[in-house]
Structure 1
């Protein structure tokens, strides 16, 4: 990591750029190492504290008997009250798994309703899974996007185990755990991003290869260049797309900077040509060659007629020859 990168990293954590710029490289490296160690130690301590957290189960506020009564009243009438029925089943699922919920609902229904009530309970179960996953997503709302995606995929893959989902929600909600877990996720993400940037793709591959994420970066690339078709970009890995976008942005910024410099030196060189000051012309020409390509400088001079001033023309040719010789 070079000096500029180290200064940028340290400036993200409370150090002023003025102070960092004044420090020798050896001190910067020492401070960077110390800061890295402190942040990783903080991350590990937070993890340990999280493991030691006692999970205190919340009180069961669901009155199952009341929900059973609601189920009975909802299905005992000629026209089933589906709103009340689904709401009651979801309340039951707060405490019981699918098979237990089916048994409880069937205990309130007639034999001829067996198939229908089983299907309704299964539908309510699928809906309840999404409710639990939505709760988890809410608890992860302050995670970095990459970490949130990983967490939601982890829990989404375990949607069939609602006991696990319920316990996870209780754990994440207990004793300010949401804030602590968010901090862990942020620390992990920051450490990987700041100190192991080459590992970002490896750690969050599924996030970056997600269709939505790929589509977003493809749109950005296509707004920067017409060199690629959408199918061509779709076939590439996110890591490659990210590199393409970075190069295109760098090219765009460089082109913008070059245009600004060309405009700036067109005015400066024009002024010294009009003044017919040979020394000022030579100095400005050398300055322009220090920041612009020879081709651009030649084009700038081509906008002015210096052939009528043999001294300036001679000085121009001599400086350009020296520049070519130096850059060989």
Structure 2
């Protein structure tokens, strides 16, 4: 699963997901996939981002298309530089897992000026007129599903919760905002700090959090890798903090089964990457596909582990 935005982020995807590109009924169109080169600009190196790239490269290979990949490592300036490099290579289309929605505006403008279609994964801005399409995750709803589990577990009792976010400015903001906005009034957020999608950093944050708030009962952690760091910190402090998190990786599901995590929200990186390539090729050829496609998300607990989708190609 694996992996930061606010008001300008596209969270109304559910309302417009039925929009389709105009054109032929066939996905074949006029461009042979074997002549297509896709530039993929990834946003970071978390398990989500690694699995996303695997899925994109695998699906492109199956379709006969070529992929050139670059990683921005959570740096908006590097993202723009990577896109400029892809433009200089004259790729057929760009697939972008953005670092930051504000940077995304410049990215889209650069691609548009070069007449290179841009396709987004995970998140997009509210104005979709200048992009080819997108595969999105309703990240606010992801956070809300975790908050819903806590609401049910707390059952009206007063409780303290902490938030270990990712890197500020992109998907993490949506995840955390969706979580805090959906919590019931009886659950108070007493700490909210970024773990930067890094396990060691998240462990440090969790250690400080439990020292400052020894009565902490719940923790929302913005991905499973960080959640393992948080779990280690809480265990070392002798505290039974119930962790809810995000991704649905094999390790994450095993942690839910073992009781290390109370719940996770599965949003398959494999599904996102595969559909991104399929829809990019279809829309390039003026075929029929949803311009804005939504990936299914699901709250996973011990009771429904078998329902989690495959997260990553092995």
Normalising by the smaller structure, the TM-score range is under 0.3
Greater share of helix = 1
Q: Which has the higher contact order (CA 8 A, sep 6+)?
A: 2
Higher strand fraction (1 or 2): 2
Q: TM-score, normalised by structure 1?
A: 0.21
- Give TM-score scaled by structure 2 length: 0.22
Q: Which has the larger radius of gyration?
A: 1
